[in-house]
Amino acid sequence: MTSPRGPRGADALVQALQTAGVRRLFTLSGNHIMPVYDAVLGRGIALVHTRHEASTVHMADAWARLTGEVGVALVTGGPGHANAVSALYTARMAEAPVLLLSGHAPNDQLGLGAFQEMAQAEMAAPVTKAAWTCASPDAVADDLARAFRIARSGRPGPVHLSLPTDVLERAFAGRQPPAAAFEPEPQALDPALADALLARLGAARRPLILVGAASMTRAARRATEALQAASGIPVIGMESPRGIADPSLGDFAALLARADAVLLLGKRLDFTLKHGKPPFPATAEVHQVDADEAEFARSRRAVGDRLQLVGQADAASAVRTLTERASARIAAADWLDECRAALAFRPPAWDTLAAATPGRLHPVQMLRPLQALLDSHPDAVLVCDGGEIGQWAMACLRAPHRVNNGVAGSIGAGLPYALAARCAQPEAPVVAVMGDGTVGFHIAEFDTAVRHGLGFVAVIGNDARWNAEYQIQLRDYGPDRLLACELLPTRYDQVAQAFGGHGEGVTEAAALAPALARAVASGQPACINVMIEGAPAPTIKRAG
């Protein structure tokens, strides 16, 4: 409720959130933000109250990727803010428009040793597009509008705004910005450059357009599919830390090596593309469109004079302009067919692995039965989290919506992602595939899911170890030098049950499908703990 003395900074914040169209805040309570909790009562904004501050940012990240809206996390200051910052890196690398609102020591006590006084904006700055502290109650609404603009403009990404308690508690006498003030500032692609790019790609025999994480939302994928249909040029999205070796892209490495022209459209020429080294094609001409002009210099360092046409524009605007100006299909149909076949390829031996056999399951055996559930709804969501098991899930499963750990390669966000996915798609099945290592990071979010009635199915591939690191030790140092990668064969299904969810333990392949059916029928947050034989993540390559 608004204070009897008039609106406070907290009230102005909530009104600005409403103007921005915010429907939900992902939050964990704390002293500094109690004025915001008071102000949000009865204002039509739902709170998803979590068990860890990093979870709030991970949920906001997944919400942003699935809805295209700015995902907003609200946490307390000091240690609460510090907990949340680690998750900002994942959102930054995933190019997700996220806003972290953190409580803060009062401005009028800074430098005096205030409770939980901390240089919060400076802490968040390296992993955000912008970070600052609100100076006064009258600045709150304008600061929020600025944060929304920055988060969604150019290359999308997270923004941080610290909210001192005196800013939240004191009277607001400023103005509320109009809805237009929250909108992103587009960077349009020069039509002449678009024509030149299409001409150069059309002159190539095997052109490719590579897009980055911001182009992997469902709406953005529809736009890139329209560009591919209009031009005939294959458009390939990259969002995995394995880059060229992303198993969800099949034999992409061999395909990329054959390209004779590559347009990087919002895609950095970074480690995911081997910094321009093989299998990135050594003789292909390279063109680049990016919202960040600094990317051109970095690409030129990698490929030299092979970087030819460049232009500054945001990915969404550039895709739209290229589609509009692609007057005819300019690439050979057989090249597009070759690309589709390479991306769809999976080793035939996996069909044999999928057969039910006694004992611990191979990852393929664990994953193949999940596909029918993902095929059952046009908005089903697949969450992939973990090291090796996350890559197996990317390789084996497809879904209308997918959320993974992104280019950051961080793990542990699977449960927060699943909860946010359920909020974003309340009528669709949500399946989260995780390892036993990664589920431990935020397993208390089963409590959050039960409290909020957010049903989903978590399928845990449990090999009782940190398998990614185990595989590195095994490969690089040998079986006699395995150290500190072991875990217990914990019954995570029973942990979920203890929080009030549904749990199933699976030790043989034949038991998985019935367990999955019971988990779905329960309508509860569910955990299926599957004992597997850990396997290295797949590297997919066609014979010959």
At position 467, the amino acid (one-letter code) is: N
pLDDT-derived band at 5 (thresholds 50, 70, 90) equals low
pLDDT-derived band at 174 (thresholds 50, 70, 90) equals confident
- Which residue in 146, 81, 100, 59 sits closest to 412, CA to CA? 59
Residue with tokens 């099945």: 429
Cα separation, 382 vs 399, whole angstroms:
6
Q: What's the confidence (pLDDT) of residue 443?
A: 98
pLDDT digits (tens, 9 = 90+) for 374-412: 999 999 999 999 999 999 999 999 999 999 999 999 999
Q: What's the confidence (pLDDT) of residue 3?
A: 53
Q: Is the pLDDT of residue 530 over 70?
A: yes
Cα separation, 207 vs 205, whole angstroms:
6
Cα separation, 528 vs 544, whole angstroms:
39
Residues in a beta bridge with 525: 456
pLDDT digits (tens, 9 = 90+) for 39-65: 999 999 999 999 999 999 999 999 999
Structural domains of the chain, ranges and CATH numbers in brackets: 9-182 (3.40.50.970), 191-344 (3.40.50.1220), 349-531 (3.40.50.970)
Q: What token pair was written down for 325? A: 């100006």
Cα separation, 275 vs 261, whole angstroms:
16
Q: What's the confidence (pLDDT) of residue 253?
A: 97
- Residue 163 backbone dihedrals phi, psi, to 5 degrees: -125, 95
Q: What's the confidence (pLDDT) of residue 115?
A: 78
- Which residue in 415, 393, 450, 419 sits closest to 66, CA to CA? 419
Q: Is the pLDDT of residue 259 over 70?
A: yes
Q: Is the pLDDT of residue 79 over 90?
A: yes
pLDDT-derived band at 111 (thresholds 50, 70, 90) equals confident
**Mean pLDDT computed over 215-237:** 95
pLDDT digits (tens, 9 = 90+) for 113-133: 877 889 999 999 999 999 999
Q: What token pair was written down for 465? A: 């170890």
- Residue 361 backbone dihedrals phi, psi, to 5 degrees: -85, 145
Q: Is the pLDDT of residue 256 over 90?
A: yes
In the structure, how many helices (H) and strands (E) does the chain have? 23, 17
pLDDT digits (tens, 9 = 90+) for 514-524: 999 999 999 99
Q: What's the confidence (pLDDT) of residue 437?
A: 97
The 3-class SS string of 295-357 reads HHHHHHHHHHHHEEEEEECCHHHHHHHHHHHCCCCCCCHHHHHHHHHHHHCCCCHHHHHCCCC
Q: What's the confidence (pLDDT) of residue 280?
A: 96
Q: Is the pLDDT of residue 244 over 60?
A: yes
Q: What's the confidence (pLDDT) of residue 109?
A: 78
**Positive or negative CA dihedral for 211, 385, 409, 362?**
negative
Cα separation, 154 vs 150, whole angstroms:
8
Residue with tokens 């280019």: 407
Cα separation, 166 vs 10, whole angstroms:
10
- Residue 482 backbone dihedrals phi, psi, to 5 degrees: -85, 130
Residue with tokens 């103007």: 19
Cα separation, 395 vs 537, whole angstroms:
9
Q: What percent of the chain has pLDDT over 90?
A: 92
Q: Are the C-beta atoms of 539 and 245 separated by less than 8 Å?
A: yes
Q: What token pair was written down for 440? A: 């431990």
The 3-class SS string of 76-95 reads CCCHHHHHHHHHHHHHHHCC
Give 266's contacts (C-beta < 8 A, 6+ positions apart).
155, 211, 212, 214, 215, 289, 290, 291, 314, 315, 318
pLDDT-derived band at 356 (thresholds 50, 70, 90) equals low
What single-letter DSSP state applies at residue 416? H
Average pLDDT, the chain: 95
Q: Are the C-beta atoms of 33 and 16 separated by less than 8 Å?
A: no
pLDDT digits (tens, 9 = 90+) for 155-172: 999 999 999 999 999 999
CB-based burial, 106-115: b 16+ in 10 Å, e otherwise: bbeeeeeebe
Q: Are the C-beta atoms of 248 and 395 separated by less than 8 Å?
A: yes
Cα separation, 334 vs 264, whole angstroms:
22
Q: Is the pLDDT of residue 208 over 80?
A: yes
